Amino acid sequence: MGFLDYAGTLSLQKDPLKVKIFMDPRLTYPTLTWDRSMPVAKLPEPRASDEAVEFLGYFFPPDDKGRIMAGRLFRAVVTHLTAHTVRALPPILEARSHPTRFIETLLKDLYIDAYVASAHPERVPDLAYANALAMASAKRLERIYLPATRVMTAILFKVLANGPLDGLTGEEAALVEAAATRLREVKERFAPPGDGALDVDELRETADWLVEQLREFGPFVETPCLPYTENASPCSIYNRRMAPPDSEIEPLFLDAVEALGGAPPEGGMASCWSKQVDVECLQAFSSTIIQRQKERKILRRLKERLASSRFKSIEIPPEDYSEYLRAREQIGGTSRRLLNNLIMATNFEFEDIRKMYGVLDLADAIQVIASKSPRNDIFLRDEIMKQSFSIVILLDVSRSMRTSPLENRARAICIAEAAKDVITDSNSWAFYAFSDRLYVLKDGSEAYSRRVRARIGGVPFDGTTYMPDALRAAAEFLKGKVEEQRIIFVLSDGYPYGYPGVYEDLEEITRTYEERGIIIIGIGFDTEKMGTLFRYNAAVYSQRDLIKHVGNVFLRASSEELL
């Protein structure tokens, strides 16, 4: 279970079709955006090295203790972001400025904090730890020289973690106390959220009052935020990157638990998390490290073998399991029916049924005579001929395929899942996507796992169509395979493009590989164009076409190549 799977189990939004969760190792802070009506949560990935464990800009000790501390933060990130997808506060303020953005964000965070405290109290320690860690890593208020930033920081920590007011002027402290009082009153009316008692006009009145009070302390150059929230960005209020030890955080943690509406733990901060929670976190680290090492090994091997290819890059695509599920819903039972067709076709063509004539099987003949059975399949069978296959599926994800991305993704999933069941040895098939880049969806060394499915959902449709180079990648995988038939499925709209002479290159490569005994089958998505490129081809316009034509062309290609 890597961090993406861990995030899926932690998500408060249990319907994976109602939120997309990505892991992006390039991010420092999480983001929450909307793709049409679908919330998209992008999470940074905790990184562990011999020097430190790094997450959200913090550095933790490079041991199990440091990983457990980072795991608490990761749980806080997932809890906070996915809570926003379960309970959403309607827009309060329209103007976009630092004070309005600060107040609007703070109100939304208080709303979902109230929801978490009432519906998921076991998650309160994670949020409290994240709040306490942020406060422990922040500058002392007197070291924040801009009055607006200082006051907003004080309000943030006072409301979320009962932060002190040391370092404020009398006027600033009075405003912070008044703001905290009004915001706590608002939060009390939030709990429990969703009961229909939310007064938006009253919220706007409170928000407008807070904004007017803050404007007295301008100018504004930034919006103070907490690193684990979706609005996080580099912020000048933090000056400590090495995370302080638990002994220093615990007093702040206890205040933060109280501010969030949780009950103070009887056994101190350490008692808030069970051993099982810590083990899950360590397992996520371990699985992620092993997986990343494996991916680097796969990419390194491919890059060495395809050093002469024109691909701009060879990479692992982002993972989007929700998009895979959306596409998977489109095909229903199509993959099962396609699988049945493939199995029936191979059984009919390649297996010799029990013979009805020839040399008698004496034991069977005696049994039939003694029982007076009408059976006549009592003759010795020849050795059953079982075909073995190695297959590579190539999915065109160029810009021209972006016209129907969901449908094209669904068709590719259907063929991949049928192949997965036809070829029981996962080492004997691979699945790549290509444009002017090559994406590894499933390497031969990988099982058809949730991670592979998430890659299919996350691969982007963009770029030009380097089809000859994709065939070279497929042929490299098939090289040295001992199966009787080696097959490449090319799923495309049939328009190779991207560099001069691409059609001539494709024709030469196709001829070369066919002479080496590789079967190339072109499956045209909403086009007959693949018939001009490959000897074996089929056009797919519907799921019915997918079931019928793919099985037929597979059977025809396999049987003709045996002759």
pLDDT in tens, 118-167: 899 999 999 999 999 999 999 999 998 899 999 999 999 999 888 888 88
Greatest CA separation for the chain: 109
Question: What pLDDT, on the 0 to 100 scale, is given for residue 285?
Answer: 92
- pLDDT band of residue 382 (cuts 50, 70, 90) is very low
| Helices 64-86 and 124-137: angle between axes, nearest 10 degrees | 110
Q: How confident is the model at residue 236 (pLDDT cuts 50, 70, 90)?
A: confident
**Residues comprising the chain, all counted:** 563
Taking the C-alpha atoms of residue 76 and residue 31, their distance in angstroms, rounded to an integer, is 14
Cα–Cα distance for residue pair 286/276, rounded to 1 Å: 15
Structure tokens that stand for 166 in this block: 């040391």
pLDDT at 343 over 70: no
Q: Which CATH number fits domain 310-351+386-562: 2.30.29.30, 3.10.129.10, 3.30.870.10, 3.40.50.410?
A: 3.40.50.410
Q: Is the pTM of this model over 0.85?
A: no
Residue 384 — very low, low, confident or very high, per pLDDT cuts 50/70/90? very low
Question: What are the CB-based long-range contacts (under 8 Å, 24+) for 345-348?
Answer: 345/551, 345/552, 345/554, 345/555, 346/387, 346/422, 346/555, 346/558
Separation CA 161–CA 167 (nearest Å): 17
| Ranges of CATH 3.40.50.410 domains, the chain | 310-351+386-562
Residue 404 has φ and ψ, to the nearest 5°, of -135, 65
What pLDDT digit, counting tens, does each position of 64-122 carry? 999 999 999 999 999 999 999 998 888 877 767 778 888 888 999 999 999 999 899 99
Q: Are 510 and 394 in contact (CB under 8 A)?
A: no
What distance in Å separates the CA atoms of residue 533 and residue 531, rounded to the nearest whole number?
5
Whole-number pLDDT of residue 359 = 57
pLDDT of 391-442, one tens digit each?
Answer: 999 999 999 888 888 889 998 998 888 888 778 788 889 999 999 999 999 9
Under 8 Å CB-to-CB from 423, ≥6 apart: which residues?
A: 389, 390, 391, 429
Residue owning tokens 């350490």:
270
pLDDT surpasses 90 at 174: yes
136, HSE (Cβ side, Cα atoms, 13 Å): 23
Which residue bears the tokens 């297959």? 391
Handedness of CA 454, 460, 461, 467 (dihedral sign): negative
Backbone dihedral angles phi then psi of residue 27, each to the nearest 5 degrees: -80, 150
Q: Give percent of the chain above pLDDT 90.
A: 38
Cis peptide bond prior to 219, omega within 30° of 0: yes
d(C-alpha 200, C-alpha 233), whole Å? 28
- Identify the pLDDT of residue 16: 80
Whether the CA torsion 417, 418, 421, 422 is positive or negative: it is negative
Query: In this predicted structure, what is the pLDDT of residue 335?
Result: 54
